[in-house]
Structure 1
Amino acid sequence: MCSGSFAWCEPTAISYVRIKKFASLFAKIFIQGRTKGKKTWNCYGTMRHNGGNIDEIVSVIERRISKREAPMVNDTSTHKLKVGELAKIAGVSASTVSKVINGRTGISDETRRQVEQILKDHGYSRPLVNTKLSPTIELVVEYIEHNGTMELIKYASYWAQQAGLAITVTQTNHGDATEDCFRGIIDRNPQGVIMQQMGGLTTQAKSLLKSRSIPVVIIDPIDTVDSDVMSVSIDNWTAGYQAGKHLLSLGHRRIAVIRGPANLQTSIARYSGFTAALQQAGVDLPESYIEQGDYFPAETSYEAACRLLELTDRPTAIFCCNDLSAVSTYRAAREHKIALPKQLSVMGFDDIFPAGQLMPSLTSVHQPFSEIAQRAVQMIIDSRKGNQGDMHVILPTSVVTRESTVPPQSSAR
């Protein structure tokens, strides 16, 4: 290997410029040799062979450099940055970068995002610990009993089977998915993950999945989705607007609403579309006609329906932002001896079982669960093949008219 000492070179009659050039070339050839991972071309032997004459040494080194194309250290086109180098760029410790790469906890979301961006900017590829993929797609849900979850499981299983895959269902114990939940997922190394979770995809969960390059599709995300996370959703605003227009078309003017969770973007959009339809028609929506329900449990919506039905000037129609709330409204109407649909029209959202089997059968906004599942499964398959299409898909909805919505009695108009 090259020596760092030049004491043996002849000092006589050597210009400062030549010494400087020699040092520069020596450093260059040394760096090139290290980058290639080989010995540095017998630099020391070359020097001894030429008797230490610096002019001849410089000429030899120049000729050798001109014949080789070894990259310099600052050539980022082929040089893969190491963890320590990435840490210096980010201004954090190497252990912090390692935590981000491996999806571990112990750092703030802001630091994680900063390091993730640097990894992305420098084209850093995470190493795969287990390259053997499981022939499964993981479906993460918050509630098995939740609106539409069983529909999604049914159709996701069907479309996965068509692709030679299977669906594995993970329930997050009625709350946000924990780190342990996602560590279990990456240990199973599925083809991808479909999430129908009210808690959304946390920064930590996203980092864990990215650490193993596992593609993720979020169904009806509750908030703005990052550009690098795929999603499939319905047009919730238009769906709410369709519901309002349907009840207005029947002649209803005293229309109440049982909203979904106030913190979810999906329920906010449905409510916004519904109120837009009423405003467009010049129909007031008094505060007493606005009730806060929930997607689960049903008791919250039942209590909301009871309050609406006990009003002196009770509504002639109620729009429920999910079908389970509509079922709770049926129960409240029966207990208050209000006949459906003669005295009260009820409209749901989702069009899930048992909407068509209720008495009267429930009018509902139909969610295309089969197409949602098909798109989600296909997006994962395409992502694995490197055929990335649309990152965010929004699907239309439609109103399925059944027996629960009729024109109001003439006395109620």
Structure 2
Amino acid sequence: MASQTGLSIATISRVLNGRANVAPDTRERVLQAMGGLGRRAPRRRGGGLQKADNGVYVRCPYVLSDYFGIIVSAITEALDRHGMHAIVDAGESAWRRTGVLPTLSAGWPQVTGAILILPVEGADELERLRDRGFPFVVVDPRTAPPRNIAAVSAANFAGARRLMAHLVELGHRRVGVLGGPPEWTAMSDRMAGYTAPLVGVGVYPAPELLRSVKDPTIEAGRAVAAELLDLPRRPTALVAFNDKMAAGALQAAAERGLRVPGELSVAGFDDIDVSRATLPALTTVRQPLEEMGRMAVSLLGRMLTGHELDALHVELATELVVRGSTGPAPAGS
């Protein structure tokens, strides 16, 4: 490659290891020589996996709770069925390990590929890993993934639209949104989905009814729901970024003596265990969390065995689950 590019071996090494002290045009020359800028996702050549080369790095920079834990469990079980094993890196320590991606392709001989769940790295870092020919799949991408990186997500827009259509059919027009991090793709997609049914009946969501938080927890949901419920003209319904925030909204409603769903409807997203533990049980949008994990393993397995991926961005269907927390809008609202 040195003869192809006219660059020193040291410079080429810096590019392949993702070092920052390389000029953009130099990096481009090396990657072009590698053939790493093609349209297809990276894959391993040859048939089958070697016994000593069947580890898959599974990174989730969050605590493995009832959301992420479901995804990771499905991944580890699917890997086992494919004759591979998971090397799990999760929690706060995984969040702090921001420099791990450049080391995967060179420094982890026992790792044959990776599955990255809601990765903190930006598109540039993911593209560098792809350009080095290292196979990986992103699950639940934080931001829109580049076109030639394999990714699995849920149909956030469609799920949010169906949920809001349900509320509109019940007569709700003044709906508050308890949002997650605004920079996340899932949030922007859901916001677009929430807006569409309201616009369809001539209502545009009022900015005063939108709140967003960095960490979508029960306590965060309770706090932002309280803000909306204390408005001079409170909303008749609240839709939350996830079921935990919706559970917090139910707490805020109870503290104000509001009957759910008689005076206020509340809905979540995810359909995790807490959605069935609240009183009333939550109307929510079910995400196929286990299938997201299994699909990621399937895509990675195909890459490792040399198959082409015709569909790099896989979006799995969501489902509206109607329970007791939503009902008709109060009369006169």
Normalising by structure 2, we get a TM-score of 0.85
Calculate percent identity across the aligned residue pairs.
27
Q: Which residue of 1 aligns with 2:2?
A: 83
What amino acid does structure 1 have at the position aligned with 2:88?
A: V
Label 1:180 to 1:286 Cα distance change in 2 as closer, same or farther (>3 A): closer
C-alpha separation in 2, matches of 1:409 and 1:346:
13
Q: What's the CA shift for 1:350?
A: 1.1
Equivalent position SS for 1:326:
helix
Q: Which residue of 2 aligns with 1:31?
A: none
Q: Which residue of 2 aligns with 1:395?
A: 316
Q: Deviations over 1:63-87 (max 9, x none)?
A: xxxxxxxxxxxxxxxxxxx32432x
Give runs of aligned pairs for residues 171-186 of structure 1, distance below 5 A.
171=90, 173=92, 175=95, 177-180=97-100, 183=103, 186=107
* Structure 2 runs not aligned, ≥5 long: none
Q: Which residue of 2 aligns with 1:148?
A: 67
Say whether residues 1:326 and 2:246 are aligned partners: yes
Tell me which of 344, 357, 363 is aligned to 2:264.
344
Q: Which residue of 1 aligns with 2:306?
A: 386
Q: Which residue of 2 aligns with 1:159?
A: 78
C-alpha separation in 1, matches of 2:64 and 2:304:
31
Q: What's the CA shift for 1:146?
A: 6.0
Q: Which residue of 1 aligns with 2:111?
A: 190
C-alpha separation in 2, matches of 1:149 and 1:111:
39
Residues 18, 102 of structure 2: 8 Å contact kept = no
Residues 218, 230 of structure 1: 8 Å contact kept = yes
Residues 237, 271 of structure 1: 8 Å contact kept = yes
What amino acid does structure 2 have at the position aligned with 1:101?
A: L
Q: Which residue of 2 aligns with 1:115?
A: 30
Q: What's the CA shift for 1:253?
A: 1.7
Q: What's the CA shift for 1:383?
A: 0.7
Bigger Rg, structure 1 or 2: 1
C-alpha separation in 1, matches of 2:11 and 2:275:
51
Aligned-residue Cα RMSD (Å) equals 3.0
C-alpha separation in 2, matches of 1:267 and 1:252:
21
Q: Deviations over 1:223-249 (max 9, x none)?
A: 332343211112222222112101111
What amino acid does structure 2 have at the position aligned with 1:325?
A: M
Residues 139, 169 of structure 1: 8 Å contact kept = yes
What amino acid does structure 1 have at the position aligned with 2:12?
A: V
Q: Which residue of 2 aligns with 1:100?
A: 15
Q: Which residue of 2 aligns with 1:52?
A: none
Name the count of aligned residue pairs: 323
Deviates more, 1:165-174 or 1:338-347: 165-174
Residues 218, 246 of structure 2: 8 Å contact kept = no
Q: Deviations over 1:145-204 (max 9, x none)?
A: 567201101221222222233323212637464224663685253232111125245534
Say whether residues 1:291 and 2:211 are aligned partners: yes
Say whether residues 1:335 and 2:255 are aligned partners: yes
Equivalent position SS for 1:253:
coil
Say whether residues 1:207 and 2:128 are aligned partners: yes
Q: What's the CA shift for 1:260?
A: 1.6
Q: Which residue of 2 aligns with 1:230?
A: 150
Q: Which residue of 2 aligns with 1:10?
A: none
C-alpha separation in 1, matches of 2:172 and 2:142:
31
What amino acid does structure 2 have at the position aligned with 1:159?
A: A
* Structure 1 runs not aligned, ≥5 long: 1-81
Equivalent position SS for 1:405:
coil
Residues 250, 407 of structure 1: 8 Å contact kept = yes
Residues 236, 266 of structure 1: 8 Å contact kept = yes
C-alpha separation in 2, matches of 1:127 and 1:289:
49
Q: What's the CA shift for 1:261?
A: 0.9
Tell me which of 185, 202, 226 is aligned to 1:282.
202
Label 1:126 to 1:255 Cα distance change in 2 as closer, same or farther (>3 A): closer
What amino acid does structure 2 have at the position aligned with 1:144?
A: V
